[in-house]
Structure 1
Amino acid sequence: MYPWILVSTIENWLYIALSLVAVVLAVWAFGDCLIRGKDQFERAGQKTKTFWLLLTGVAAFVGVVSMAGAVNSLGAGFSLFQIAALCVAAVYLAGPRGELKLFGSGGSRPYGY
């Protein structure tokens, strides 16, 4: 077996694994945004829920479509759209999500945990 075939195979599987991680993060961000209340966004001083739903929804869609393309073509590469989708998901999960957790759902639990 030629060594470049082995390297190419490993590279393809690595791209598929990275695509899977990007999809999981994007879907997680969209799902978390979906379950949060509209008033939580207002109390946290963040952009509106509609804004974040739109961004994370597009990121999840792009991630799923790109993942399907990567699996179909055996790891065609990590595209620019996947990187953008991953950035949107990471920004939501690192920023607004943490602040939204502080304001909770307005129930009887203190601090929203």
Structure 2
Amino acid sequence: MHLLVQSYLFLALAFSALALAVWALADAAVRPAPAFESADKRTKMFWIAMSGGAALLSLLAVVGAFTGLLFSIIAGVMAGVYLADVRPAVRDYRRGGSSPW
């Protein structure tokens, strides 16, 4: 019984990390590339690769290729860095300048 609960908990964490990673990947894909340089963040391709890697890690954790909790945590942190730090900085980018006004 204990292992069953633990398995479901790890699976829920893997699905949560997958959702965060897909959200980060989709958000990075729709942002214009100059917004990343304007906000002094890395390039758009870096964040797409980082979010894509997080999505792949969490997908492998969901399907059972990686059965450890560590991969879900790593994927969640990778996506969380984008969503908490980069997304707010590039969200208000306006073409022709970095000012939101």
**If the length of structure 1 is used for normalisation, what is the TM-score?**
0.77
- Specify the alignment match of 1:82 in structure 2: 72
Q: Cα RMSD (Å) of the superposition?
A: 2.3
- Indicate the SS of the match to 1:96: helix
Unaligned runs of 5+ in 1: 1-5
Percent of aligned pairs sharing the same letter: 35
- Specify the alignment match of 1:3 in structure 2: none
**Which is higher, the Rg of structure 1 or of structure 2?**
1
Q: What is the aligned counterpart of 1:29 among 24, 28, 36? A: 24
Write out per-residue CA displacement over residues 72-99 of structure 1, whole angstroms, 9 at most, x where no aligned residue. Answer: x9xx441x22221111101110001010
- Indicate the SS of the match to 1:103: coil
Letter in 2 for 1:28: W
**If the length of structure 2 is used for normalisation, what is the TM-score?**
0.85
Q: Are residues 31 and 64 of structure 1, via their aligned partners in 2, closer, same or farther at CA, if it must alter by over 3 Å?
A: same
Write out per-residue CA displacement over residues 41-88 of structure 1, whole angstroms, 9 at most, x where no aligned residue. Answer: 111111111111111111111111111117xx9xx441x222211111
In the TM superposition, what are the counterparts of 1:20-59 in structure 2 within 5 Å? 20-59=15-54
Unaligned runs of 5+ in 2: none
- Specify the alignment match of 1:98 in structure 2: 88
